[in-house]
A and B are shown apart, each in its own frame.
Chain A
């Protein structure tokens, strides 16, 4: 069974930092690209970042570029999101989401349950 379990969320002051983790199991993690997607309270989904299976390709949404860093450790079956210079508008539930296998076309299939990040003084 595919499982994605996020951790590391919490309350942080504006300008602070936080590191999110996503533990993957039930599939060959090193074969899949991964994404972070967030959802502000009462709002829609926003794609945040993408990392390819070998970490050779990385993309960020303009809203987080230069402040967030995505990374992965295939030996530990883990995905990370380092978030620096946090702003009030970064408050959201952050989801780890698996990218489709390449031959299925771009998209996302499995999602974690999310971890809440609250940026507030």
Chain B
């Protein structure tokens, strides 16, 4: 059973920077896992932010960026805004008969 692990919670001040990570139980995350990142606010559906490690969708604010960091996928929020308070999920692609596994999620609090 593959497990994708994220920090349970992180707190950041308005205007600050925070980095969320996404680790795979199978080993280092590489670009071949095509990391995706999603934002979900309470009572809403998830919204896609990043695909294929670092590519932004047309609606993704510039302050969100994706990368690989120390064997993990990473999402960095720079110049955090109050509206960025949300749950963030990563998604990794493993191919085969069960291609997708979501991360455990990170609750970001802006305080």
**Given A44-B89, A100-B51, A108-B105 contact (CB < 8 Å):** no
**Given A45-B89, A59-B97, A95-B45, A109-B102 contact (CB < 8 Å):** no
- Contact between A106 and B99, CB atoms less than 8 A apart: yes
Nearest-CB residue, chain A, relative to B6: A44
Number of A-B contacts (CB under 8 A): 68
Residues of A within 8 A of B68 (CB): none
Closest Cβ of chain B: how far from A45's Cβ, in Å? Answer: 4
Closest Cβ of chain B: how far from A86's Cβ, in Å? Answer: 21
**Given A44-B89, A45-B89, A107-B48 contact (CB < 8 Å):** yes
Closest Cβ of chain A: how far from B39's Cβ, in Å? Answer: 11
- The B contact surface, by secondary structure, is strand
Nearest-CB residue, chain B, relative to A109: B48
Contact-size category for B: 20 to 34
- Contact between A106 and B48, CB atoms less than 8 A apart: no
- Contact between A108 and B57, CB atoms less than 8 A apart: no
Residues of B within 8 A of A35 (CB): 100
Interface segment out of the listed A19-27, A73-81, A110-118: A110-118
Closest Cβ of chain B: how far from A27's Cβ, in Å? Answer: 14
- Contact between A110 and B99, CB atoms less than 8 A apart: no
Nearest-CB residue, chain A, relative to B44: A113
Nearest-CB residue, chain A, relative to B101: A47
Q: For the complex, count residues of A whose C-beta is within 8 A of B.
A: 24
Closest Cβ of chain B: how far from A16's Cβ, in Å? Answer: 26
Kindly supply a per-residue 1/0 record for chain A positions 30-67, scoring 1 wherever the CB is within 8 Å of any chain B CB and 0 otherwise. 00000101000000111100100000000111100000
Nearest-CB residue, chain B, relative to A111: B45
Residues on B facing A (Cβ under 8 Å): 34, 36, 38, 40, 45-48, 51-52, 55, 57, 89, 91, 93, 97-105
